[in-house]
Chain A
C-alpha cells in the first residue's frame, strides 16, 4: 500500500487544518507512537482505527496538549505550534471528548459548559445559557441546562462534553471512542451531530475500533497498529473486511458459538423486581426472568433502560422496592453482596475500574476481594495462602503482571478484566451475571472473555449476559431478551432470533415484525 497515493489523489481543494509530522511518544519503555504522520482536513470526519494500545489515544492526546511528544512537529492552519497543555490546544480551537468524562457531577449542565470560559469577574450565566441553547439548537444536542450532570445518562453526559468543546469555539473535535458508551439510537444521534458539525466546516477525529461505525460515519480512515500508521483509506474505497485485516493483521474468525447442549432447571430467578434509579424514578418495573443452568441469556437493550439498576440489584448493591431474586431455590436477601457470592453467584460489573477493582491495591488483594474472609483464622489473614491463591489464578487466567504484588492500576484494561474473571469464575459459580463484560476491550481480550464465559456455561452455570453490543448478544446467547424502559419487551430463542425483531423491541415496538409489503 502506498500512503501518498491515497492522500494526493484527494487533496483537490481540501485544506489541511492539522498536520502532525513524525510524532514520537514513549512512555518509560513503551513506544506508543513511532514517527506518526497524520493530517486532518477541513470539514471532514476522519476515523482513527486500531486495536487497544495501537496508539490512537496517545496521538490525539499529543494533539490536545496532554502529552508532549518526544519529537515531531505539529502544524495547525499551516502554523507550527507548540502545545504544552490543553489550554494551548483549546486556544487553537481544538476540543477533545475523552472516554472517561471530565465533568463535575454535582454541577449543572450549564455550569459544566462554562468551565474555563467564565470571562471576567462576574459570571454571566444568562448570556451563557442563551449561547448554550443556541448551540443545542444548531447541532441537535438537547440536554436540560439545569440538570445536575450526575442525573444524566452516559449519552447525555457525552453531549455535555461536546457542548463544552463547542462552547469554547472548537473547530477541531476529537472524540475518543465516543460510541463505546452509547446505545444504537444514541449513536445515531451522535452521528447526525457530527455530520452537521462537518457540514459547518469543523473537522472531526473519531477514534474507534468498531468497523461498521467507521464505515458509516467517516470520510477517511487512518489505521494504526503498534504505534505506526499502517494504512489510510477513503471509506468509499474500502470495506469492513479490508479494514479489519489491516487493523488486526490477520483474517478475523467469524464469531459463532454453539450451545452447551444441556440446558437444565432455572438457577437464577428474578421475580417481579421493581427498583428506582438514582433520580428516584422507577428504572425496572415488575421485571421477571429465569436463567437456566447451562444457558446464556443475552439481555439486549439501549443503554439507560434499567440494565444498570437490574444488575445492581442482582449484585446486591441496590435494594429493590419490591420483588425477589432467587438463586438455586433460595431467595437472596436484598442488598447483601456477600450472601449472593457465598451462594454461588459470579458478578462481572460494568465499571471494572470503579466497581470491580481496587486499583490502588495489589493484584493479590484484588483477587481476594470477595473471599478474603476464607483466608482468615481468628481475624488474621493467612498471607501465604493468599499468595498461593493469587499465583494459581495469575497462571490459570494468564494475567500479565509483574507479579501478585503489583498494583492493579499498572495493568492494562484486558488484564484488569482477567483479574475480575479469575476472581469470579474460578470458584465454579452456579450463576453468572455479566454486565457489559467486553466494553472497551480489544479484539483479543473480547475473545478471551467470551471463551471464559462459555466455559462457565459448559460447566453448568446459568449466565445472564447484559450487553449493549448486539453482535456479542447474538454470538453468545441461547436466548435473547430485550429490556426496554425497565420491562422485558420480548424473549426469543437463538434459532428463531432475528436481528430486525430484536431491533424493533429495543426501540420499544412490541409484537412480531412482519415483512414489508
Chain B
C-alpha cells in the first residue's frame, strides 16, 4: 500500500462554497474529542453551546456583537492577503485604533453626536492604517519581510498602550492601567433595546459590502489583485506596485483599527490592557476560513463568535473550561487548510 497524491480537476463552484461549511461540521465533530477528555457530556455540550450562542434573543444579539470586531479584523487580514501583503499585525492595528478612539472619546469636543462619532471612527481608522503603513514602507523601500514586521509591531503597540495607561491616559486616582471613561457623546448608540447591539455591528456589515465592492468593482481592487498574483507583471502593466501596497496597508490597518474603536466606545468604554482577547490573531484564521472573500469572512466571523459566546454557557453547564473555544478555533483553521488541500489534490491509497 502506498499513498498517491495527484492534482485534481477544478471542482465546480458550489463545492467551493460547501468547503467551509463542511470544514465547520468536521471541526465540530472533532471537537467531541477534547470535550470528552474534559469530561463533558457531548449532547449537553453541543446543545448548550448553540443555545448559549443562538438560543435567546439576547444571546443571539450578543453573538452578533462579538462578531463585529472579528469581522473587522478578518476583513483587514483578507484584504491584505489578497494583495500578498502578509499582515499578521491586525492585533497591533486594532490597539492603535482603540487608543485613538479612547483619546478622542475621553476628550470629546463639544460637537453634535454624529460628528463626534465620525471623528472617533476616522481617528481609529487612521491610527490603525498609519500603524500598518510602517511595515508597508519597510517592505516597499527596504524589502523587509512584512510577516516579521507586522507581527513584531503588535508587541510594540501593546507596550505603547501600556505606557499610556500607566501615564498620560491613566484614570486620575487609579493605580490600575485603565483610562478614564469615554464621554457619553462619543459612545456608539445601542440600536436594539435590551441588548448591546450597537452601531459598530452595522458598520462591520457595511465594511463587508465596501470591501467586496472595492475588490470586485474598482480600479484599486483590480490593481491590488494584480499585485497579489504577480508583482512584476503588475509593474510591467504600469501599475504602481508600491503605491498599491501602501494603500492596501492603509485600508487593512484601518479596518483592524475599527475593531478597536468598537471595543472602546461600545463595549468597555475604557481603554484597558486586555481590550482585545486576540481579535487580531483570530482575524487571520477567520480570513483563511472565509477564503479571503468578504462574505466568507463575515460568515466565519459569526461562526467564531458562536463558539466564543456559546463556550461560556457550555462551560457553566458542563464544566468544560471556556478555553475549549480556542481549541475549536485552532481546529477550524487546520481542518480548513486540509479541506483546501483536498479541493486541489486527490489522495488515493494504491496497492503496489
Residues of A that sit less than 8 Å from B by CB: 28, 68, 82, 84, 315-317, 336-338, 341, 347, 349, 354-361, 365, 369-370, 372-373, 376, 379-381, 383
| Listed residue (A68, A336, A381) with the most chain B CB atoms within 10 angstroms of its CB | A381
The answer on a CB contact under 8 Å between A379 and B219 is yes
The answer on a CB contact under 8 Å between A356 and B236 is yes
Q: Collect the chain B residues with CB atoms within 8 Å of residue A376's CB.
A: 218-219
Q: Shortest beta-carbon distance, B110 to chain A, in Å?
A: 36
Q: Shortest beta-carbon distance, A78 to chain B, in Å?
A: 20
Complex: A373 Cα to B232 Cα, angstroms = 18
The answer on a CB contact under 8 Å between A379 and B236 is no
Complex: A19 Cα to B39 Cα, angstroms = 62
The answer on a CB contact under 8 Å between A358 and B238 is no
The answer on a CB contact under 8 Å between A354 and B237 is no
Q: Does B317 contact A (CB under 8 A)?
A: no
Interface string of B194-237 (1 = CB under 8 A from A): 00000000000000000000000111101101100110111111
Instruction: Using A317-B235, A347-B236, A355-B236 as known contacts, say yes or no to A381 and B222 having CB atoms under 8 A apart.
Output: yes
B: contact size bracket: 20 to 34
The answer on a CB contact under 8 Å between B230 and A357 is yes
Partner of A380, one of B6, B218, B225, B236: B218
Q: Collect the chain B residues with CB atoms within 8 Å of residue A356's CB.
A: 233, 236
Complex: A358 Cα to B9 Cα, angstroms = 21
Q: Shortest beta-carbon distance, B296 to chain A, in Å?
A: 18
Q: Does B174 contact A (CB under 8 A)?
A: no
Q: Does B175 contact A (CB under 8 A)?
A: no
Complex: A356 Cα to B230 Cα, angstroms = 10
Residues of B that sit less than 8 Å from A by CB: 2, 4, 6, 9, 217-220, 222-223, 225-226, 229-230, 232-238, 352
Q: Shortest beta-carbon distance, B210 to chain A, in Å?
A: 13
Instruction: Using A68-B4, A359-B229 as known contacts, say yes or no to A315 and B236 having CB atoms under 8 A apart.
Output: yes
The answer on a CB contact under 8 Å between B352 and A82 is yes
Complex: A356 Cα to B233 Cα, angstroms = 5
Q: Collect the chain B residues with CB atoms within 8 Å of residue A361's CB.
A: 225-226, 229
Complex: A376 Cα to B218 Cα, angstroms = 8
Q: A84-B4, A381-B217 are in contact. List 14 more A-B contacts (CB 8 A).
A: A28-B9, A84-B2, A317-B235, A317-B236, A336-B238, A337-B236, A337-B238, A358-B225, A358-B229, A369-B234, A369-B238, A372-B223, A379-B218, A379-B220
Instruction: Using A82-B352, A379-B220 as known contacts, say yes or no to A358 and B226 having CB atoms under 8 A apart.
Output: yes
Closest to A337 in B: B238
Complex: A317 Cα to B230 Cα, angstroms = 14
Complex: A354 Cα to B217 Cα, angstroms = 25
Partner of A357, one of B2, B220, B233: B233
Q: Shortest beta-carbon distance, A56 to chain B, in Å?
A: 20
Partner of B218, one of A338, A354, A381: A381
The answer on a CB contact under 8 Å between B217 and A383 is yes
The answer on a CB contact under 8 Å between B219 and A373 is yes
Closest to A341 in B: B238
The answer on a CB contact under 8 Å between A355 and B232 is yes
Enumerate the 10 nearest inter-chain pairs by beta-carbon distance, A residue then B residue, closest first: A338-B238, A369-B237, A360-B229, A337-B238, A376-B219, A358-B229, A370-B237, A355-B236, A358-B230, A28-B9
The answer on a CB contact under 8 Å between A358 and B233 is yes
Closest to B6 in A: A68
Partner of B235, one of A68, A84, A337, A381: A337
Complex: A418 Cα to B4 Cα, angstroms = 36
Partner of B230, one of A315, A359, A379: A359
Complex: A369 Cα to B238 Cα, angstroms = 8
Closest to B221 in A: A381
Complex: A3 Cα to B235 Cα, angstroms = 52
Q: Collect the chain B residues with CB atoms within 8 Å of residue A317's CB.
A: 232, 235-236
Q: Collect the chain B residues with CB atoms within 8 Å of residue A84's CB.
A: 2, 4
Complex: A341 Cα to B235 Cα, angstroms = 12
Closest to B228 in A: A360
Partner of A354, one of B4, B233, B352: B233
Closest to A340 in B: B238
Q: Collect the chain A residues with CB atoms within 8 Å of residue B220's CB.
A: 379
